[in-house]
Every structure is written in structure tokens, then in C-alpha cells.
Structure 1
Amino acid sequence: MKHCLPFASLALSMMLASGAALADTKIGVSMSQFDDTYLTYLRESMNDKAKTYPEGVQLQFEDARADVVKQLSQVENFISQKVDAIVVNPVDTAATKKITEAAVKAGIPLVYVNRRPDDTNLPPGVATVASNDLEAGIMQMQYLADKMGGKGDIVILLGDLANNSTTNRTKGIKQVLAKYPDIKIDQEQTGIWLRDKGMTLTNDWITQGRKFDAVVSNNDEMAIGAAMALKQAGVKPGTVLIAGVDGTPDGVRAVEKGEMAISVFQDAKGQAYGSVDTVMKMINKQPVEQAVWVPFQLITQENAKDFK
């Protein structure tokens, strides 16, 4: 027995050391909501990226359920747990000040992913990984303006009004429209990113007898909803041009089938990998860019297969 004890102690020490390595880095992640299609891909890709780190990275995901107060509480809980870093996909891009202040005061690195705070003057120890939403609006509207020959009527499906992705994508649309006085906005309403809301709004406009040549949607889900409403009303696919943003698998399929004219690819994997890489560099005291931009790409029927 005397000979067994040192061996047992050594084995126990090795197991404990191994266990410590597996849980070496803990990152708290607060997502604005789990049931958003695009954010699901983002979350899954973050998890995939974390698994590639040999030192062991544990991501603790929390669902803020589109509640600003709940999200702040989640961040405060991460801080009390003494996590190594925090990643936040903000519920409201205008309400991130308290989150930033709490993380900075605690000395915990913070990365905002996918949605950049309205306050872009962020302090040291805070970074963002996102795509420039203005570009997405410009890309989709310029394509439609060319296809429409610079004239006609459009409707705009807005995302969540508390989100600056909605503001900036729509700003990009209107920036292009400023060059085309013969393209008029007939309707502009929020479908809060949801397929069924996009379908309901489009159906309402059809029922009201409104005529429009294109639907410009802030995301793919609402765009797909619009396509479903038009199809249900007997409108031949392609008659009304529909543009989305995100390049989700459903969005890409809709473009391939001609149900949508285009989508603008927002790289969920690129944003996810970028956020995990950035926060790991911050944990390890390595230099990082405070604003990491992941570019958008246009998806058409011709190149849709490249985005599958």
C-alpha cells in the first residue's frame, strides 16, 4: 500500500491538472436572443471556434431574450463569476454604456459581436467585431436600382428599430435612392427581423391594393416572408424583385430558386471566429484592432452555389 500512495497522488495530481487545463479559459457570452436564425449560426460558429484552442476554452452562452435589463444582469453575473472575458451581442445598440462601464471597471476584456454599439468611442479593453451595415444597404439597393432601370416603387421591410443594423442598412438604401429620384418608397414598416411579420406586412400591402416593383428587406427572414406572401397572392416569382441581407441557407436557396433576386452575405462564421480570436488575444494581453470589420458579399443567382 505504501508504494501505491505516491502513484495515486501523482495520478490525482495529473487528473486535476488536466481538468484545470480543460477549463483554463471561461468566456461569458450574452446573445440578444437565441431564436433568431442568423444569431443561431453565429452562436454555433463561436462554439466551433472555441473548440480549436488547445488550451481549452469554455463559452457560457446566455439568452437575453431581447431584454436590455436581462442582458445587463447577465453581464453582471459573468463579472461576479470572474470569467476571463465577456462577449456581447447587444439587445439594444443604444443601451450598451452600462455594460461597457461594468466590464471596464472589473478589468475584464469585452467584445461586442455582430452589432456595434452606437457609441463608437469605446475605451481600452473593449473591441467590436461586426460588418458595416451601411454597405449592405448600398449593395442591395444599387443592384435593384440597376435592375429597375432607375424607376419604380419599392417597399422597405425594417428590422428591429432598437438595432443600429436596421438604421444603417436603411441609411445605405436611402443613400442610393438619393441618386434615383424616380424610385419612390411606397411603404416602410418594421417586421422586427421575423419571417411571419414580413409575410403579414407584405400580405397587408397586397390586400390594400398597393403596387410595388421591389421589396427591400433588412434581412433574409423578412424577405422570405415577403416572397411567400407574393406567391400566395399568385404573383409569379421574379415579377417583384426581393432583396435580403444575411445569406442564410434559406436565403441562398430562395435566391437560387429565383424567389429572391439577391441577398447580401453577412459572414456569421467570420464574425464568430473574429470575436473569439479577438477576445482570446485580449485575454493573453496581445494587441488587437479595436474595430474588426468583416466584409459583406453580394449573392446572386449566378454565384449562389458558392455560398452553400
Structure 2
Amino acid sequence: MPRNSTRRRMFTRVGVGLAAVGLLAACTSNTPEDDNTEPADDGQQNAASSNDDPGENVVIGFSGPQADHGWLAAINSFAEQTAEQYSDVELRMAEGTNDPSAQISAIETFINDGVDAIVLLPTDGAALTQVAMQAMEAGIPVVNVDREFSDPAAARATILGDNYGMGVSAGEYACQLVAENDLGDGAVIAEIAGIDSLPLTQERSQGFADALEACGQNVDNRVAAEFTVESGEEAASNLLQAANEIDIIWNHDDDQGVGVKAAFDNAGRDEFFFIGGAGSANAMRWIESGEMEATVIYPATQAGDGIKLARLIAQDRGLSDLVQVEVPRRIVLDAPVVTADNLEEYLPMGFES
């Protein structure tokens, strides 16, 4: 999908590939002068192996929130699936919880057990910062997933989705639809947000507004839901009652999108292009059947990527596709748009709402 070069702050979005598919080779002579001659060293370090090759056995503790909707269930599932790929990883899963105190207790247990690394998607980043610091001080590297700690020193590495970038991707795609369908300056664009008090919702909305502004558009109608099916249906019903005609709707979350879609069907409204968010299997099936235009990925694979990073850090290895010999401290994943044209590529990552 073409990107608008005028967008604001969008150059800060960084994607880092985690697949280990090659070796970094140092340049050396193939014909040494004699048997005692050492190969020339140009200062580059040759990666010993692919990251997926077995290494030292490690124990990784994982803790995440309660899987009370599809995206969080997928977080836990990808963590388990990823660990199972490696014969050198023993994964210890704490019971999912929305209680910060219970999650703190789980991390304390990991510390007392002396695990080699911890992957943590905190119920509350600020509340879990202190116990993550305790793990780091005990020599146990922590990989922080999705919700950041209040002190960056509490994590050896942080891996995040891109909420602002998610809004940008949705807005850029909306701009593309406006241009391709000759909707003009009078295009009516609506937004169904998540919980408005959350920074992630604010970032998504800001990215959407910034991308629309870059092509001369704006949000005409906006409602907020609560990331649940019931709230999505209620918010979408209110939106449809307030606007007799809409050209494009972006819904922030595909889990609440089940209710949003029900409201559309109940009202018999389908005159608009429907864009979703997060990348659920439901949304991808709707795209496949022509009932939805697109969805913007907010990767449920983050915890799986966290397991990969924790394994390498605990084994004192870096990413073999990078010249840098250490695992990066911060990785922000991309927020691509899934349409009928690239659906097959993303179907394996779709989660059930």
C-alpha cells in the first residue's frame, strides 16, 4: 500500500525482523599463505549459527493478563507455540490474571525459582515495574511486552505493537479509499474507538487523525466502546443512528468488532467501507467474503517474539541477521493493513474473537 510522504511523525515507526534466516559472514581469505597463517579479520564478528539452532537449555517464565478476550488469548497461545518450537526451552506459564498483586506474586515465584529469563505482559506497567526491577537486579533478564514499565531499566528488552502507527495505517488506507472511489473532500469518515481513557486508544485516534489530515480528510463521527462485543454493538448502533450516510468506518478492535458488525447487519447498513483493527480470524473471514474491506494488524504474536528474544538473551546470543551482536533493547512491530490482496499471508496469525 502506498505511503504518504507528508505524514507527521510517521518516520519514527520502526520495524525489526525477527526471523533468523541467514548468517553474518566475516570476509576472510580462502587461500592462506601457509598453514600457520590466521585468517584475516576485518573486525566483523561471524555469527556462529542461525538463531533457531539449539543452544544452552534455558527456563523462561511467562506471565500475562487473563485471557478475557480473543487478542489476549492469542498472546498466551503464541507464547506457548513459540516455546514448543525449541528443544532448549522450558516454558513456565503463570496463570493469567487481571490482578496486579497476583501477577507480582507470580514474578516473585519465578525469581525464587531462579529462572533464566522472564517474559512479562503486565496487567499494569507501572504496578509491575518494581518486581521487574527485582528480577533484573537478581540477574534475570526481563522482556517487557506490549504495556511498558514506568522505568526502562526494569527490562532488558521491550517489544511493542505500534498503536500510533496502527491509526496511521488505518488513516492512510482510508485516504487511499477516498482517492480510488472519488469520494472527494465531502467523504464522511467515522471512528469507533476503544476505551477513551487508555493511552493506547488516544494514540490510535491521534494516528488516524494525523493520516487523514495529510490527505485533507477528518473524522466526522466518533464513538467509543470498551473492547467488548456488547459495547461494540451499542456504540455502533449509536453511530448509525447519528449518521444517515457514512463512507468509511474504522473500528479500533476486532474483538469489539463482532458487536460492531452485528449492529451493521441489524440496521441493514452496508454503504460504507469497513476497516477493522488487531487482525482477528473473524475479520479476515469477513474480508474474504467481501463483508469487510480491511483490518490493521496489532500483533498478537508479541509474546511469541518475546519468548524468542528471552531465549537468545538467556543464551547470550544476538540476532544473527544483525551486525550488532546484542539483542536490541527496544523493538516496535509494524502495523500492516490486511486486505483481500494479502489475506493469505496473515491468515495464520488471525485469532478467534
Which of the residues 239, 246, 265 maps onto 1:205?
A: 239
Distance 1:212 1:134 in 2: 24
Q: 2:263 matched to 1:229?
A: yes
- TM-aligned CA distance change 1:279 to 1:207, over 3 Å: same
Which of the residues 75, 85, 89 maps onto 1:42?
A: 75
Shift of 1:208: 4.9
Partner of 2:250: 216
Q: 2:104 matched to 1:72?
A: yes
Residues 47, 59 of structure 1: 8 Å contact kept:
no
Matched residue SS, 1:235: coil
Distance 1:138 1:217 in 2: 13
CA RMSD across the alignment: 2.6
Partner of 2:30: none
Shift of 1:255: 1.4
Q: 2:194 matched to 1:141?
A: no
Distance 2:344 2:194 in 1: 27
**Any residues of structure 2 matched to 1:86-101 within 5 Å, and which?**
86-101=118-133
Distance 1:217 1:298 in 2: 13
Partner of 1:158: 193
Supply the AA of the counterpart residue of 2:162: N
Supply the AA of the counterpart residue of 2:97: A
Shift of 1:280: 1.2
Shift of 1:173: 0.6
Distance 2:199 2:219 in 1: 23
Shift of 1:284: 2.1
Give aligned-pair identity as a percent.
23
Residues 80, 304 of structure 2: 8 Å contact kept:
no
Q: Provide the aligned length of Structure 1 versus Structure 2.
A: 278
Partner of 2:230: 196
Matched residue SS, 1:176: helix
Say which structure, 1 or 2, has more relative contact order (CA 8 Å, 6+ apart).
Answer: 2
Larger helix fraction of residues: 1
- The gaps in structure 2 that reach 5 residues or longer are 1-56, 318-325, 348-353
Larger strand fraction of residues: 1
Residue range with higher mean Cα deviation, 87-96 or 101-110: 87-96
Q: 2:306 matched to 1:275?
A: yes
- The gaps in structure 1 that reach 5 residues or longer are 1-23
Distance 1:163 1:93 in 2: 13
1:84-143: CA deviation from partner (whole Å, max 9, x where unpaired): 221111223454432432322332211112x14164x62275211223222211111111
- TM-aligned CA distance change 1:57 to 1:297, over 3 Å: same
TM-score of the pair, normalised by structure 2: 0.70
- TM-aligned CA distance change 1:215 to 1:284, over 3 Å: same
Distance 1:105 1:183 in 2: 48
